[in-house]
A = this chain, B = another copy of it.
């Protein structure tokens, strides 16, 4: 297809498509004449991925380049590529540098061990969890972590359907795109549902309505 059709199919403007080609995010089309290039389904998929990383994941152009290099490197195992993409979009929480972080990291390691979760050294998710636990301790709500196992059960259920959703995809681009969209928007979906369930539970416990 010509660049105009690629633009219509993806909703990305022609100048923006040309910018992505110049930046090395999108492979150039195949030249059919000195002034005309032809684009295929791989370009459609790649553009969808770029938009998801940009609009949903909030990645910079440099961050997007990193994800795309990982996708295009055939020696990189898929599991690693998916993990790297997700790590890019996981929100980082800064810990206040309090003494609680070492203790919190130990608790996270114990939880991962107890649940038999496979993970890897320096996982940003483990560090985020440790930071949140240390923050709870700092504000005097360390006891909140007693419910961590209920949270972990719920997270496992959600992760299972997330993976089923992702596993339908065939191309590496599509898999990575699903992971990014699912990670970012899935967090928002769950936070909103949890809040709706809070309102309901609070009404039942504290509300005056019968």
Contacts and interface: CB of A to CB of B under 8 A. Distances in A.
Interface of A: 48, 51-52, 55-56, 77-79, 82-83, 86, 90-91, 93, 112, 117-120, 123-126, 128-129, 131-133, 135-136, 139-141, 143-144, 146-148, 150-165, 167, 178-179, 181-183, 185-209
Contact of A188 (B117, B132, B209): B132
Given A139-B55, A203-B79, A183 B195 contact: yes
24 contacts: A48-B139, A86-B199, A93-B188, A112-B196, A119-B196, A133-B189, A141-B178, A141-B181, A143-B165, A144-B182, A144-B186, A150-B160, A154-B158, A155-B193, A159-B194, A159-B197, A163-B198, A163-B201, A163-B202, A163-B205, A167-B205, A186-B194, A187-B191, A190-B191
A interface, by DSSP: helix, strand, loop or mixed? helix
Contacts of A77: 206-208
B183 A198 contact: yes
Each complex incorporates copies of this chain amounting to 2
Nearest to A120: B199
A148 to B, nearest CB: 7
A206 to B, nearest CB: 4
B193 A129 contact: yes
Contacts of A129: 189, 192-193, 196
Given A56-B139, A125-B192, A154-B154, A199 B132 contact: no
A90 B199 CA distance: 12
Contact of A202 (B83, B90, B124, B135): B83
Nearest to A133: B189
Nearest to A128: B192
Given A163-B202, A185-B144, A56 B135 contact: yes
Nearest to A159: B197
Given A117-B199, A123-B196, A147-B164, 9 more contacts: A86-B198, A118-B200, A118-B203, A119-B196, A128-B188, A129-B193, A158-B197, A159-B201, A187-B194
